[in-house]
């Protein structure tokens, strides 16, 4: 009986987590440094296994030319490619776009190994600090700021170790006063 309850609870947790990750993937806005895969069903020449968005968030695609992906979701790119290929090139194109590698986030200050690290969905500041070798003994858990990549004003926000990290974010962990 207890096993069934525990199993049901774990199943609900896993399904909820998968749903949250799917939601994040569907609302994730592409930008410079992201690597995507484009698959056009039945059209090997139009499928691209791996393409990195350039500094302007643009990639070049056969027959279409430059495609501005910055600020768009994978679903929006799918729709744009489908509409562009339909008619002149294909009758009923079925296009899928997926993010292979997210752009890096950056962490500096009182961590063992400051620098850029690959983003992973569900990443918190606590896990980001662990990826950077952990906090130094002088680090202050109360003096953490984050600059969101999507924030055009680049204004630092106060953050905690439980704050969610997004691709391209810049995290600074300051020294504590003893």
Tell me, rounded to whole angstroms, the distance of Cα 170 from its chain centroid. 14
What pLDDT is attached to residue 26? Answer: 63
Domains with residue ranges and CATH for the chain? 1-101 (3.30.1950.10), 104-175 (3.10.560.10)
Provide, rounded to the nearest whole percent, the portion of the chain with pLDDT above 90.
69
Cα dihedral 76→78→81→83 (10° resolution): -80
| Spatial contact of 70 and 56, defined as CB atoms under 8 Å apart | yes
Q: What is the mean pLDDT of residues 3-23?
A: 41
What pLDDT is attached to residue 15? Answer: 43
Give dist(CA 128, CA 117) in Å, integer.
8
Q: What is the mean pLDDT of residues 132-141?
A: 93
Whether residue 6 has pLDDT greater than 70 = no
Q: What is the pLDDT of residues 29-57, one digit of tens each?
A: 899 989 999 999 999 999 999 999 999 99
Q: What is the mean pLDDT of residues 78-90?
A: 89
Give dist(CA 155, CA 152) in Å, integer.
8
pLDDT band, residue 90 (cuts 50/70/90): confident
Whether residue 88 has pLDDT greater than 50 = yes
Directed axis angle between helix 2-27 and helix 74-85, to 10°?
A: 50
What pLDDT is attached to residue 150? Answer: 82
Tokens of residue 170, six digits? 């810049």
Q: What is the mean pLDDT of residues 71-91?
A: 91
pTM: 0.72
């Amino acid at each position: 009986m207890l096993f069934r309850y525990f199993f049901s609870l774990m199943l609900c947790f896993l399904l909820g987590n998968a749903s949250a990750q799917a939601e994040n993937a569907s609302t994730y806005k592409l930008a410079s440094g992201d690597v995507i895969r484009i698959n056009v069903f039945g059209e090997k020449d139009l499928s691209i296994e791996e393409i990195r968005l350039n500094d302007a968030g643009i990639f070049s695609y056969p027959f279409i030319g430059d495609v501005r992906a910055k600020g768009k979701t994978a679903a929006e790119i799918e729709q744009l490619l489908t509409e562009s290929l339909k008619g002149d090139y294909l009758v009923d194109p079925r296009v899928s776009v997926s993010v292979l590698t997210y752009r890096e986030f950056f962490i500096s200050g009182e961590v063992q190994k400051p620098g850029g690290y690959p983003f992973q969905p569900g990443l918190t500041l606590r896990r980001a600090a662990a990826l950077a070798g952990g906090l130094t003994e002088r680090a202050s858990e109360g003096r953490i700021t984050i600059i969101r990549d999507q924030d055009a004003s680049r204004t630092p926000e106060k953050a905690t170790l439980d704050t969610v990290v997004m691709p391209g974010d810049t995290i600074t962990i300051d020294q504590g006063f003893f």
